[in-house]
Amino acid sequence: MTKLSNQIVFFGSGPVAAKSLEFLSENFEIEAVITKPKLSNSRDSVPVIELSNKLGIKSYTPTNKLELDSLIRTGILGSKLGVLIDYGIIVSETVIDYFKLGIINSHFSLLPLLRGPDPISFSILSGVDISGVSLMLINIGIDEGKLLAQEKLKIGNLNNIELTKKLIDLSNKMLKNCLPKYLSGKLIPYPQSDIISPTYSRKLIKQDGVINWSKPSNQIEREIRAYISWPKSTTDIFGIPVIITSAKSSNVTIKPGSIKFDKSSLVIGCSDGSLSITRLKPAGKNDMTISSFIAGYKNRFQTIN
C-alpha cells in the first residue's frame, strides 16, 4: 500500500494505542514507536511492543518523563511530527519542541469538554448523548492545545467497550484525512472554544465500581456501561458476589438495594425506582443471562412474596 505522508513517530502504550498503531502503519511510514516497557513482574502481554516487533518497527521503552527526555536529546529520531494516543507518560516541553510540527494527540472527547485521562468513561457517566474525537497539538497544559479537527459521535446506549471501538474507528478516519494535510501545510491549527467551559475526567479507582443502590437508577445504569472494562460494577445478590454487565430501567418500585425476582427476571431497588438486571458475571464464572443465573443459584435465593 502506498504510504500517505512523511515519517512520523508514534507514542502509545495501551490497547487503544495498539489498534491505532495497526491502522497508522498501513497508511503512514512509522519511523519509531515510543511506548511503556513491560513490567518485570507482569505476565500480561504488551500489545504495542508485540505489534511493533511484528511490523518490524523500532521501539523505545522509556519508563518515565526523565528517560523520555534523555531519549529525545540523543537526536536519534528524524521525523518532524509525532502522533500520541493512549501513552500514559507525561510529555515535556523538550519532547514537544523536538518535533518541528509538534505532536498530535487524538483525544476521545469534544475538547474543551472532558480533558484528562478518561474521557470515554466520563462521557457515559455524564449522561450526554454526544461524544467525539478531537485531534489536538499537545502542549504542557492538560489537553489545552490547538485543534486540527473535531468530529461528533452519538453515544446512545453504548457501553465503554462499544464506544471505544467506534471512537477508535473515527479517530483513524480523521488521522488518515488530516495528517497529510497538516504535514503539507494545508491544515491550520485553531484554538479550542473559549465559550465552552472546560470539564475534566479523572482516573477511575476500584471503589468506583462498588454499586451504591441509593443512587438514581439512570446513574447506576450509566455506571454499569462506563465501568464494564474496569473497575467493573460489583454487588452482592443474596450473598453471591457478582459483576453486573447489563441492566435497564424498570417500573417496579421497591426499596433501594432490595431484590425482586422470578424465573426470568431480577430487579434491584434504587433511590427512584429500580433496575432490571439482564446480564451478570458471578465470581469465577462466565458472563451469563439473568435467567441462567437464577436457574444456577436458585437454592441460594430467598423467596420474595
Only one residue has cell 473535531, namely 150
Please give the Cα distance from 258 to 274 (Å, whole number): 9
**What's the number of domains the chain is made of?**
2
Q: Are residues 173 and 223 in the same domain?
A: no
Residue 40 pLDDT: 64
Residue 264 pLDDT: 86
Residue 15 resides in a domain? yes
Tens of pLDDT along the chain (305 residues) come to 445 446 899 999 988 899 999 999 999 999 999 999 877 666 667 889 999 999 999 999 999 999 999 999 999 999 999 999 999 898 999 999 999 999 999 999 999 999 999 999 999 999 999 999 999 999 999 999 999 999 999 999 999 999 999 999 999 999 999 999 999 999 999 999 999 999 999 999 999 999 999 999 999 999 999 999 999 999 999 889 999 999 999 988 899 999 998 888 999 999 988 999 999 999 889 999 999 999 888 777 654 44
Q: Are residues 69 and 132 in the same domain?
A: yes
Residue 246 C-alpha cell reads as 447489563
Q: Are residues 177 and 220 in the same domain?
A: no
The residue out of 130, 152, 183 marking a domain boundary is: 183
Residue 1 resides in a domain? no
Residue 188 resides in a domain? no
Residue 193 resides in a domain? no
Q: Are residues 168 and 210 in the same domain?
A: no
Q: Are residues 56 and 110 in the same domain?
A: yes
Residue 15 pLDDT: 85
Residue 248: which domain range?
206-300
Q: Are residues 116 and 241 in the same domain?
A: no
Q: Are residues 285 and 150 in the same domain?
A: no
CATH number of the domain encompassing residue 273: 3.10.25.10
First vs last C-alpha separation in the chain: 66
Q: Are residues 14 and 129 in the same domain?
A: yes
Residue 305 resides in a domain? no
Q: Are residues 236 and 103 in the same domain?
A: no
Q: Are residues 164 and 215 in the same domain?
A: no
Q: Are residues 131 and 86 in the same domain?
A: yes
CATH number of the domain encompassing residue 25: 3.40.50.170
Residue 172 resides in a domain? yes
The residue out of 183, 216, 248 marking a domain boundary is: 183
Q: Are residues 167 and 95 in the same domain?
A: yes
